[in-house]
Amino acid sequence: MNLDLAYRSLVLKVAHSPQVEALIRRRARGLVRRYVAGESLEEALRAAERLEGEGVHAILDLLGEMVADEAQARAFQEGILELVRALGEKPWPRYVSLKLTQLGLDLSEGLALSLLRGILAEAEPRGVFVRIDMEDSPRVEATLRVYKALRAEGFEGVGIVLQSYLYRTEKDLLDLLPLRPNLRLVKGAYREPKEVAFQDKRLIDAQLLHLTKLALHEGLYVAVATHDPRMIGEVKRHAEALGIPKDRFEFQLLYGVRPEEQRRLAREGYTVRAYVPYGTHWYPYLSRRIAERPENLFLVLRSLLGG
């Protein structure tokens, strides 16, 4: 395992400690606000409006995952429906992201399918696009089944995510081609064993670029989720060389990460979206952000020392 993967594995392991979570919740609120728009829908909508003023569109995500009972799943569905209804009244592009474990996937695949079907039934008439996030490897197969089932039912305003660090991903992409999916490609942020995922950052980066080029060659609409300037530059050069217009792909970055790059890409005429998370269930999301870059750990330590 290289140093990047070793760092990520260690941080995610430590982050599971209840004592560490309690400490960060108590003393690192300033850091949280760097990556999370707030705990309320109103705060998230204000953040989205600010981004729109900078030419950057927002992906709104009510944070939550791996619910323990059906009542929680239904409560999250209602929270997402509240978001969908609020976005339906906005003049700017409307885009929601969610996780199936938030809707009870671990309890029942049928429950998650049913609750997401209810969300899409309200989202599509309002012009709200819904992206199903991909979670860790044991949940990939079920997530793809739910996505395919919804597409078979005629829902068009729904997209899926694939992770370049999983060995299976190229096959999954090829299997999805008949559906012409709106696809987001990411590196992957979960702690995965070497049996299912690449452990070398260089290979993961190479796979992300390979999959992006494959999807573009196949004529899919592709959202490339990366902050890596080299990767962004390579995608731009590849698209230009092949004559792929800027309206056939987009760049997606995280709220609070490289905002100047987001604005610059928007000024260049690319579609840029910032992933804007909000809600009270922010700790797992923040843990993954800390695990992505050692610089984020220094920010945590500074926040803890400074209170």
Active site residues: 133, 184
Is 212 annotated as belonging to a binding site?
no
Angle, helices 109-123 vs 140-152, to 10°: value is 50
Is 188 annotated as belonging to a binding site?
yes
Helix ranges (H only) for 126-242 are 140-152, 169-176, 201-217, 229-242
Handedness of CA 165, 181, 51, 269 (dihedral sign): positive
Is 1 annotated as belonging to a binding site?
no
Rounded CA separation 184/139 (Å): 17
Task: Return the DSSP state at 189.
Answer: -
Q: Per DSSP, what are the bridge partners of residue 161?
A: 184
Rounded CA separation 44/277 (Å): 7
Is 194 annotated as belonging to a binding site?
no
Is 99 annotated as belonging to a binding site?
yes
Closest listed residue to residue 115, CA positions, set 104, 127, 126: 104
Is 88 annotated as belonging to a binding site?
no
Closest listed residue to residue 32, CA positions, set 258, 256, 269, 201: 256
Is 13 annotated as belonging to a binding site?
no
Q: Per DSSP, what are the bridge partners of residue 129?
A: 95
What the block records as the tokens of 92 is 């700017």
What DSSP line would sit under 82-121, residue for residue?
A: HHHHHHTT-SS-EEEEE-GGGGTTTT-HHHHHHHHHHHHH
Is 256 annotated as belonging to a binding site?
no
Closest listed residue to residue 197, CA positions, set 169, 160, 226: 169
Please answer whether residues 48 and 60 qualify as being in contact, where contact means their C-beta atoms are separated by less than 8 angstroms.
yes
Is 227 annotated as belonging to a binding site?
yes
Binding residues for substrate: 99, 288-289
Binding residues for FAD: 134, 163, 187-189, 201, 226-227
